C-alpha cells in the first residue's frame, strides 16, 4: 500500500488472514479487518470481510499470512528525552537513587537544547512505532530549555501520526522561579489544545522529594480541574521518607492533601508507599503505572501487586518495546507463580479503559473505532486461543519489531520501513545532536 509522507488519507484497505484478538471479547483465528476513512469498518472471519471488501472500489488487500493482530499499544509512562542518552554515564558510580538522579539524569535534562529535544523525541517515537505503539503518555524534562519544549516533542507525534498525552516535569530543584516556568510550560501547552486533538496535555510533576509544599500548593492553584497530573510517586524509599518527614502519611496522601489526586491522575512506579497510600489508591483509583525494567535497573524495588491489582505497564524511558516490558513484568515479578489474568488485564482491558478516558474512540478493533493497530511479526506455530494469548505474547511474539503499525488507518511502519520519514537522514541528524549533547553533558 503506497502512502505519501505527511498524507492523512488512504484508500479502503483489507487486512486478511490473520489471528485477530483484543485480549477481551474478540478472537478470530482466521480474521479480517476492513478499514475505511481511518476507522475500522468491519471485523470478522476472513471470508466474510473479503466479500465486503470486494464491493468497495479501489480497496487494497494485505495478506497477513497468519500473523497476530492487536489493538495499537499504549506506553503510559515514557521519557522520550532520554532517547539520546545511550552510552552516557556519570563520572562516578552512584550509591543511591538520589545520587543517580543528580549525577546522571539531572545533568542530562539540563544539557538538552532545542535540537536534541526534537531529535530525542523523534528517535523515541520511531522506536515505539516500530514496536507497535500508537499512543504515548510522555513525561518530559529539559531544565535548560523549558519554554516551547513540549511543542518540540509534539512535533514528533504530529509527524508520525500517533496520539499522545504530554507534560513537563515540574521540579523545585532549581528554585521557585524556575518551577514557575515549568508550571507555565504545562499550562501553555494545555491552553493550546483543541477538542478532539490527538495530542493532549497533562500537568507534569517530578517526585515529591523535589517539590516543596509551597510548590504543590501553587500547582493546585494553577492547574485546571480537568487537567490530570502525571507524577513520579514512591519510586524510591527517599520519596516516602520525604513525605513522612513533612508530616504526611505518604507520597500519595501528600498529593491528596493538596487536592491533586483524581481518578485520571497518572502515578508512575508506586513502589514505596504507606498503608494510607494504598487505601487512597483503592478508594480514588488513580492510574498506577508499573515500570519493571526501570525499577530493576535503578534497584529501587518492585510494585506490590498484592496491594495494587489494577495497573498499566510503562517503560520509563528504558525502551519503546511494550512486549518486552510485559515479559519483564512476569520475570521480575513472581515468575511462574505470576497471575496471568492480572497481567492480561494490565495489558488489555485496563489499558483500553484508560486509553478511552483520554481518547474515547481508540483502543478497540470494533467497527467505528479509529484504526490504530499492530500486526506482530509472529505466526503462532502452536495452538492459540483466548486462554493462552498472553503466553504467546510473552514467550513467542516479543522478539523484534512488528510487521506493521497503523494509526488512523495509515500505515506508519511496514516490514522494516518507516513511512513518515527518511530514517537514514534521521539517524544522521540524531548522531550530530547526540555528539553535541554529550559535550554539554560532560562539561
Q: How far is CA 199 from CA 41, 154, 165, 360, in A?
A: 24, 7, 6, 13
Q: Which of 152-156, 247-251, 284-288, 332-336 has the lowest mean pLDDT?
A: 332-336
C-beta pairs of 220-226 under 8 Å, 24+ apart in sequence: 220/258, 220/259, 220/260, 222/183, 222/187, 223/186, 223/187, 223/260, 224/187, 224/190
Q: What is the C-alpha separation between 306 and 410, in angstroms, rounded?
A: 40
* Distance in angstroms between the alpha carbons of the first and the last residue of the chain: 48
Cell numbers placing 34: 476492513
Local structure of residue 174 (DSSP, 8 states): G
6 has a pLDDT exceeding 60: no
Architecture of the domain defined by 73-358: Alpha-Beta Barrel (3.20)
Average pLDDT, the chain: 95
| Nine-digit cell string for 374 | 499492530
Residue 312 and residue 354 in contact, taking contact as beta carbons nearer than 8 Å: yes
Task: Label residue 63 by pLDDT band (50, 70, 90).
Answer: very high
Show the cell assigned to 21: 484478538
Q: Is residue 95 very low, low, confident or very high in pLDDT (cuts 50, 70, 90)? A: confident
CA distance 366 to 72: 13
Domain ranges of the chain: 13-72+368-417, 73-358
Provide the CATH number for the domain formed by 13-72+368-417 in this structure.
Answer: 2.30.40.10
Its pTM surpasses 0.75: yes
* Nearest residue to 314 (alpha-carbon basis) of 120, 157, 135, 100: 135
CA atoms within 13 A on the CB side of 21: 22
Indicate the DSSP class of residue 170. Answer: B
Band the pLDDT of 340: cuts 50, 70, 90.
confident
All 3 cell numbers of residue 178? 524556575
Q: What is residue 336's DSSP assignment?
A: G
Q: Choose among 115, 102, 154: nearest CA to 439.
A: 115
In angstroms, rounded to a whole number, what is the distance separating the alpha carbons of residues 108 and 281? Answer: 32
Sorted by sequence, the CB contacts under 8 Å of residue 426 that are 6+ apart come out as: 119, 122, 123, 126
Is the pLDDT assigned to residue 1 strictly greater than 60?
Answer: no
DSSP helix/strand/coil, 180: helix
Q: Do residues 29 and 76 touch, judged by C-beta distance below 8 A?
A: no
Instruction: Please say if the pLDDT value at position 9 is more than 80.
Output: no
pLDDT at 8: 59
- Cβ of 29: how many Cβ atoms within 10 Å? 15
Cβ pair 398, 321 in contact under 8 A: yes
CA distance 403 to 241: 46
Q: Which pLDDT band holds residue 400 (cuts at 50, 70, 90)?
A: confident
Amino acid at each position: 500500500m503506497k502512502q505519501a509522507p505527511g498524507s492523512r488519507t488512504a484508500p479502503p484497505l483489507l487486512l486478511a488472514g490473520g489471528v485477530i484478538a483484543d485480549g477481551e471479547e474478540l478472537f478470530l483465528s482466521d480474521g479480517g479487518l476492513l478499514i475505511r476513512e481511518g476507522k475500522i469498518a468491519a471485523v470478522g472471519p476472513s471470508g466474510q470481510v473479503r466479500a465486503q471488501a470486494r464491493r468497495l472500489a479501489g480497496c487494497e488487500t494485505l495478506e497477513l499470512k497468519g500473523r497476530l493482530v492487536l489493538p495499537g499499544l499504549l506506553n503510559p509512562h515514557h521519557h522520550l528525552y532520554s532517547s539520546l542518552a545511550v552510552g552516557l554515564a556519570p563520572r562516578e558510580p552512584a550509591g543511591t537513587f538520589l545520587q543517580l538522579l543528580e549525577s546522571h539524569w539531572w545533568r542530562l535534562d539540563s544539557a538538552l537544547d532545542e535540537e536534541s529535544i526534537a531529535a530525542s523525541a523523534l528517535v523515541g517515537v520511531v522506536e515505539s512505532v516500530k514496536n507497535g505503539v500508537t499512543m504515548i503518555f510522555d513525561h518530559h524534562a529539559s531544565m535548560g530549555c523549558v519554554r516551547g519544549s513540549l511543542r518540540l516533542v509534539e512535533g514528533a507525534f504530529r509527524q508520525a501520526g500517533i496520539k499522545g498525552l504530554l507534560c513537563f516535569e515540574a521540579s523545585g530543584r532549581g528554585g521557585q522561579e524556575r518551577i514557575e516556568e515549568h508550571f507555565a510550560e504545562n499550562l501553555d501547552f494545555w491552553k493550546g489544545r483543541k477538542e478532539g486533538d490527538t495530542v493532549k496535555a497533562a500537568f507534569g510533576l517530578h517526585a515529591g522529594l523535589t517539590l516543596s509544599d509551597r510548590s504543590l500548593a501553587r500547582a493546585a492553584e494553577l492547574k485546571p480541574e480537568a487537567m490530570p497530573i502525571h507524577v513520579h510517586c514512591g519510586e524510591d524509599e527517599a520519596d516516602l521518607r520525604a513525605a513522612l518527614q513533612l508530616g504526611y502519611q505518604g507520597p500519595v496522601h501528600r498529593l491528596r492533601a493538596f487536592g491533586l489526586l483524581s481518578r485520571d491522575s497518572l502515578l508512575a512506579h508506586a513502589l514505596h508507599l504507606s498503608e494510607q497510600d494504598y487505601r487512597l489508591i483503592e478508594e480514588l483509583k488513580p492510574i498506577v503505572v508499573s515500570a519493571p525494567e526501570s525499577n530493576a535497573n535503578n534497584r529501587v524495588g518492585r510494585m506490590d501487586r498484592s496491594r495494587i491489582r489494577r495497573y498499566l505497564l510503562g517503560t520509563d524511558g528504558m525502551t519503546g518495546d511494550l512486549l518486552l516490558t510485559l515479559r519483564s513484568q512476569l520475570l521480575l515479578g513472581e515468575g511462574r507463580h505470576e497471575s496471568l489474568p492480572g497481567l492480561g488485564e494490565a495489558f488489555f482491558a485496563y489499558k483500553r479503559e484508560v486509553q478511552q478516558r483520554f481518547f474515547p474512540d481508540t483502543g478497540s478493533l470494533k467497527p467505528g473505532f479509529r484504526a490504530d493497530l499492530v500486526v506482530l511479526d509472529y505466526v503462532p506455530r502452536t495452538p492459540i486461543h483466548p486462554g493462552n494469548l498472553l503466553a504467546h505474547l510473552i514467550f513467542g511474539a516479543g522478539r523484534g519489531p512488528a510487521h506493521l503499525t497503523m494509526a488512523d488507518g495509515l500505515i506508519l511502519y511496514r516490514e522494516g520501513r518507516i513511512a513518515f520519514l527518511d530514517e537514514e537522514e534521521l539517524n544522521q541528524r540524531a548522531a550530530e545532536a547526540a555528539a553535541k549533547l554529550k559535550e554539554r553533558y560532560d562539561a
